[in-house]
A = this chain, B = another copy of it.
Amino acid sequence: MNAPSKPTIGVFDSGFGGLTVLRELLPLIPGADYVYVGDTARLPYGSKSRVTIARYAMESAQFLLDRGAEVLVIACNTATALALPDIHSVAGGTPVVGVIEPAAHAIRPALPGQSAHVLVLATAATVGSHAYEIALSKLALVATEKACPLLVPLIEEGWIDHPVTREVLRIYLREALDICTPDVVLLGCTHYPLIAPLVAQTLRELGCPARVIDSARTTAVSVSAIVPHNASPLSAAGATFTCYATDSVEKFARLGSHFLGQPIPNVTLLDLGG
C-alpha cells in the first residue's frame, strides 16, 4: 500500500471536454489519484466576461485544492486564456498547467525553421482571445487561428465519424488552407481529439501534409514532467479518478464516457453557486 505517496492531480474544465486531457494523463501518470471538476451548470464559458470566468475558475480551483490537489490542470481553453493569473493567485505555490503553453512548447522543437506556420483550430471564444497566437508568437511561430463553431455541437451529438462532420471539417479546412500553408495543425479545443483522425484524413484529402498536434496530449506530457511519478505498468492499477459535475451527473457520465474513452461509474453533484 503506497497510498500516502500517490500524488493528487486536480483537473478542471467547464464541461466534459477536459476528460480528453484526463484520458491522456491516466496512462502517462498511472500512479496518481485524479479529481475532475466539470462546471457543466455554467458552461459554455466562451460567451462570458473575463471577470465571470475568472470567478468560476477560481471557485473550481479552490475546490480542487481543498480536495488535496498538488497540481492543477486547467483543461479548458477559455479559462486558460482568460483566468490563468487568477488561478495562480488562488493556487499559491501549487503548480498550475493550462492547455495553451504546453502545446506551443511542444510545437517549437518539431519545427526548427524560421517561418514555421501553425494553423490553430478552436472555438470562436478561444480564437477571439488570440491566446494561441500570442503563445506561439513568443516562440517565433506564426499562427492562423480558425474558428470552427460547429465542431463541438457535432461531437456532442456523437457524429464522430459522420458524413456531415466530414463535410463541415472540409469546409472549415478549405477556408483556412485558402489563406495559409501550415506545417502543423493544432487542435486547440479539448473536444477535438475525438475527431483527430478525421482532421488528419481531411488534410491529406486536401493535399496538405501538415502534422496534427492535439493540446490534450501536449498538456498531459507537460504535467508528467512536473509530477513525481512511477510510470511502470505495475503502478497503473493504482490510478483512480473521481468526477464532480455542477449539473446533471447522469448526462456527465453518459457524454463524458466518450471523451474519457471508458465508463465513468460515479459522478458527484457539486454546488459551486449560481
Contact = CB atoms under 8 A, between A and B. Distances in A.
Interface string A28-48: 000000000000110110011
A274 B272 CA distance: 12
Q: How many copies of the shown chain assemble into the complex?
A: 2
Interface string A62-106: 000000000000000000000000000000000000000000000
A161 B157 CA distance: 21
Contact of A150 (B153, B167, B247, B248): B153
Contacts of A153: 149-150, 153
Contacts of A171: 164
Given A49-B41, A247-B48, A274 B55 contact: yes
25 contacts: A41-B47, A41-B48, A41-B49, A44-B44, A47-B247, A47-B248, A48-B247, A52-B274, A55-B274, A149-B153, A149-B157, A150-B150, A150-B153, A150-B154, A150-B157, A150-B164, A153-B153, A163-B167, A164-B164, A164-B167, A164-B168, A164-B171, A167-B167, A273-B274, A274-B274
A157 B153 CA distance: 12
Q: Contact residue range for chain A?
A: 20 to 34
A156 interface: yes
A202 to B, nearest CB: 14
A87 B55 CA distance: 29
Interface of A: 40-41, 43-44, 47-49, 52, 55, 149-150, 153-154, 156-157, 163-164, 167-168, 171, 247-248, 273-274
A43 B46 CA distance: 11
Contacts of A168: 164
Contacts of A150: 150, 153-154, 157, 164
A160 to B, nearest CB: 14
A247 B49 contact: yes
Q: Which 9 A-B residue pairings sit nearest by Cβ, starting from the closest?
A: A153-B153, A150-B153, A149-B157, A164-B167, A150-B157, A164-B168, A274-B274, A47-B247, A41-B48
B167 A156 contact: no
A214 B44 CA distance: 28
A146 to B, nearest CB: 13
Contacts of A167: 163-164, 167
A252 to B, nearest CB: 11
